[in-house]
Amino acid sequence: MPIDKLYPFALNRPDGYQIFFVENQGVYAWAIRGDDAMRDDPPVYVTEDESEWHLESHTLTDFLISMAYWQDGLGLPYSGIGCWWVTPAEVKLIRSRFKPACQPFLYAWQAEFYANHDDESLVIMSPPGDEPQTFYAALSQEHLETMQALLDSIGEPI
């Protein structure tokens, strides 16, 4: 089936945005402006409604690395079992215990990415008007246990 049938807002849009990634629930779609397509590392924009676009990442490289950390937080084999509500004070504590892994998303989910090892991902989402949330995962049981020790008594399961 052609991609424009799967995602009717996909390629060759009259507004000049070339969509290349759609969130699995169809809430967000990411694109590069046609005018930027020939740049070495173009900025990435995001939309929720196909009419209003927001800068998501200053470069495609930053976007792809950040999206990899997002996907890792959801899909690595050893996970923190779901999402957790966290308070602003707990967000500060998490930031003090984990290293920034890559650039945050500027718009979607207001997501920040942290890791103390190359094979783990901790994501903090702070969507406007909502309480911050976190989820995390690791490639090894050992690193998951290390993360859980650093997150002991932080958050409330969603």
Q: Is there a domain that residue 145 lies in? A: yes
Query: Over the chain, what is the mean pLDDT?
Result: 90
Domain that holds residue 53: 3-58
Instruction: Clarify whether residues 118 and 85 are in a common domain.
Output: yes
Q: Is there a domain that residue 64 lies in? A: no
pLDDT tens for 136-157 read 999 999 999 999 999 988 989 8
Instruction: Clarify whether residues 126 and 79 are in a common domain.
Output: yes
Instruction: Clarify whether residues 147 and 103 are in a common domain.
Output: yes
pTM of the model: 0.89
3-state secondary structure of 153: coil
Q: Is there a domain that residue 67 lies in? A: no
pLDDT tens for 72-107 read 999 999 998 789 999 999 999 999 999 999 999 999
Q: Is there a domain that residue 12 lies in? A: yes
- CATH code of 86's domain: 3.30.160
Instruction: Clarify whether residues 94 and 138 are in a common domain.
Output: yes
Contacts of 21 by beta carbon, 8 Å cutoff, 6+ apart:
29, 30, 67
